[in-house]
Structure 1
Amino acid sequence: MAETELNFAKIVANPTPLGWCQVYSAGKLFAAISLEKQEEEGEKDYLNVVGKEILNTLEQEFFILEKKDLDSIKEAVLTTSKKIPEDVTVSFVIGSIVNNIIYVYIVGNGRVDIKREGMLGTILQAQDQANDALSQASGYLQNKDVIILQTKAFSEVVSENTLSEVLDNTSIADAAENLAPMVHEKENPLASAILAGYREMAQKAFYEKGKEEKTEEEEVKKEETEEKANQNYFESGENYSSDLAYKPKISLSFLNKLNFLKNTGLSHTRKIILTVVVIIVIVFASSIFFALQKQQNDKLVSEFNRVFPEASRKYEEGVSLSEINPTLANDSFKTARKILDEGKNSFPKDSEYSKKINDLLTKIESEIGSAPQTTSASAKEVSASESEYLSFRLKNNASYFAHDENNVYFATSDEISSIAKESGTSKTLIENDNYWESIGGLANYNTNLYVLDKENNQIIKFVNSGSEYSDSNYLSESAKSDFSDAVSIAIDNNIYVLFKNGSVSKYFRGSKQDFSLKGLDKQMSSPTKIYANPDFDNIYILDNGNSRILVFDKEGNFKAQYQTNVLKNAKDFEVLEKDKKIFVLSAGKIYQVDLK
């Protein structure tokens, strides 16, 4: 059987307190899952914790199976499903490929599609199925098949026609990149899918000059031998003795030394008997020696197969999570490192075992070193003069503020005013002549001002002509969104709108852009301010409920977070990115937090 290769691409929606989804892959096992509850109560990360436990259980139950077939994997899935709480609605779709056979299972609801030779078909679908109900199917795969495991929500967001068109003449990575914006635009926290590309690798042919072609029987034996040698250890628990075991060579030169029997004066018959006895003794001693060697090597192989595959699975899990949830990815990398550190001393230092372990440790350390870090920051109180913006903010009771190099701007329901930083002179810039009804944010860009109107779901742009400001609607009719839960806006050439559930919408020249925040370890809680600047590399968000400031790059990828108690009741903050400082206004005082 030809050697096979699997590639994965993943699409995961952003979670909410009532909805969570994820995808998983390790070796030839992969899955998509979503969890939903009806009421927001108890632990904030309840669904995340439950989901992680379900996936960990699936991994453990699957990889301890000695034989992997439809029934044995089904039992592993049923055992895993017992971890699903009664108050949670699940869509759990699992796939496993053994040799060239795919086994698929659905707990709750979901769908499995396959793309083959330009045609998209459904292998298995479950609708209106209870949490404790299980559907299953299996079949043979062909080269270049693409398998799509989808939660129920994903199959509702992305139609079969759309899925088929996106998969035409493109890689699964490109397909996932094209599908992700469709999922994020719908803001359904239950939509996730994993795409698996199946490939049969061409076998290399070897020819020996001057030898006749091998018989069909010999070729079959060779294929069977190669198949066993090429099995993936994740799936088959392959014994590594074939390429790692110590293989001592036997030297028969000692037979030449038996010539001493020629000069003993013994009869010819007795010489033969004595020679045979000596040979038997030597062979017996050698067999004992080699048996001990084999026993020792078998112990090493057994220990290696216990340590290395488990660590490799955790490493691959971390890689698959690195773009989705860097914190969970880091946990997986650290678990893999711990497994290897505890087991590496069981092997000779210069052995192939140690070499493979050290190579994997190097990869793990590299991933841990590049992972975004959570920083428990210290906040020190500083004088008001350290931040001109916050010192003016401290003295004013307006709800919304913005500032530039020269002025601080503040808005009320009646007007927008400014205060000159240098002189402290204030003046009214714009009186509210029915321009806005319910203000939800204020921002400035160049000399223009922007007001978010929550009531009319619009961003009003005020252009500074020198002597007065003229108003216009920034958003086109097609780009208008529900701003009733908006809490802040920021501008860096794009406009970012922060909502109280922690989501962020991005607009450019009046049109909504494909954008979402990625990689958070837990959902935001009561965020109040988003901060951006054309000269900054990053976007900053004040997440009061979790006492932290979050840092994202301009593509929405999580980079870091700074946690300190003063952020719990913070009213505003200012970032000096070049100086690596954040100033925070909290409880009537100004604090400094250093950026790493």
Structure 2
Amino acid sequence: MEEINLQIEKITGQASERASCGVFSARVSFGDGTIGTLVSCILVKGAGSGDGATVVKDIFDLANKKLEGAQTGSLEALKQASESSREFTSSKNLDASFSLTLFYKNASYISRSGDKVKVWVFANSNSQELSFGHGSGHLKNGQIILIATEKFLSSFDISDILKEEGVNLEEIVDGLATEISAKDDQGEIGAALVLVKESESAEAGVAADDEKEEEISEETSTAVDDGEGTQELDTSHEIAPPDAAIVESHIAASDTEKSQPGALASLSKFKNPIFAPGIFVKNKITNINIASFKNRKTVVVLGAVALLILAGSALFSLKGGADREKINEFRGYLDSASAKYEEGFALIDLNREKARGIFIEADGEIKKALGIKPEDEEARALEAKIAAKLKETESLASVDFSTISEVNGSLVSLSKGDDSLVGVTESALYVIDVGGETTAEFDGKSGTRDSAVYDNNVFVFDGKSVWRIDLVGGAGEEIFGGHEAQDISVFLGNVYLLGSDQIYKYVPVEGGYAESANYLNEKEKFSTSSKFTIDGSIWVTNGSNVFKYLRGDKQDFTISGLLDAAGEFGEIYTDNNIDNVYVIDKTNSAMLVVGKDGVYKKAYQSADFGKASGLVVDEETGKFYIAGGNKVLVADL
């Protein structure tokens, strides 16, 4: 069987002060581009509920990371990963047992440490415990690999069920979840059930051989490397019930039920067999002898009762499935956050900036996990560890500004021209060389609120109209009456005005500009301090947020990695030639550097940011400029 699919079902009890168990799975990418799946069951005793849950995850993450560094999937690679985890547990004096199983191509590789986690293989009606330390074997369609703690095996006998054809692992796990939740001491209980399935492409080739397979008595064997060579293991032995006395049936079976083979007989070993509702109810209804009833009314009543049982069982199954799906989703986010944390931790001394980016990704994953289970101790502990690393890697710089120009009056905006800066007051325009010399001064428009520069023209908004003033000769003209707005920007000749709930777009046409069009497909309530900038997308500050719009639609954009609460955002700058968005936090007197992917990178602090009325950034020269009062200030990035 060249191609396989795996159905992996995991279940664990609640960690206790005495013991913690973790069951994990993860995709592993190898150096040669191939991918495998790592499944592990880990038991740690005596570490406490909170620390124990973290430790079992650390053991898995260490093994997973070690495998990620291997060139390809192999038993040797798994043994090295197992050894790393074993050394970790030894260094911390932990009483730990674990089993690592790597599913790679059409084989499974197993490495075990300690004696409290067992591995069983079920194929057809046969079963075999794999008791070696390290080994491998070929996978066969329909095989079930059970990786479980001793406590699980002594509490639940599911061997008969796993030998049945067409077994439903989801129903088994749903039933077990309720059984486990009723136990006082769950810390040592954990198991992974892995069903091997052929992929669709492989199934097509199997159909032609069905008749031959019926004539062949298939034997299941597993190749094992026990350190002294490879041997064939016969898997025809039955699994012994670990402790049947512990799991008693609460259903008194009739003679008919006792004589029936299959699922019902097996499920009766559960304390509550209704967790396999389809099988249980079907068998119970079969035992109803219709002839024993004297009238149809009784039959109708019993039929209604049966339907109610079926409906109740179905609802229970649906709820159990939904709960299990949520738990799996939670574990997926938690596993991802933990893996990213370990990756960032390993990089922090080599590449601090890259490590911070990975910690930010981990922070996003742990927030998703806590969105599902807000009070989970393991998730909260990991969140605190990630937050500490984000704080440790945060880049915060003080700024020493120098003045490059002073003008008459208070500046309301600062823009970038072709080779200069343009500062605008309520009634004048100043063209300022980046060296600090004012090269030109023009009359502006009284009451100017804001301005933008495009193609050697300054576009000025005075609250009523938009004017265009030529930076060469100083001539000005009104180009259209505007909406009530608080900021103006020009991109590719189109003029945009930022209103209180809409962005208005004016497109140049022959002889002037067309009537305004609403840019936003849905209105948005902007704050009175909102500002915007355009690089193809439109970026708008709004309170402590930055909104991103593309073709009128609001995009999924949030600033990640910013631990301290942001204040009121004001001026914002970017263009299509730079990689970042620069945002002034007026409340905290800071300028934030945010990647266009939302990753917070750095902050600059200065009291001058609190009164900034304009911002220009030149990444190419490593300088940035702000307007404050009647001054234009410059500092290094």
* TM exceeding 0.5: no
Query: What TM-score range do you get, normalising by the shorter chain?
Result: 0.3 to 0.5
TM-score, structure 2 as length reference: 0.39
TM-score, structure 1 as length reference: 0.41
Q: Higher relative contact order by CA 8 Å / sep ≥ 6: 1 or 2? A: 1
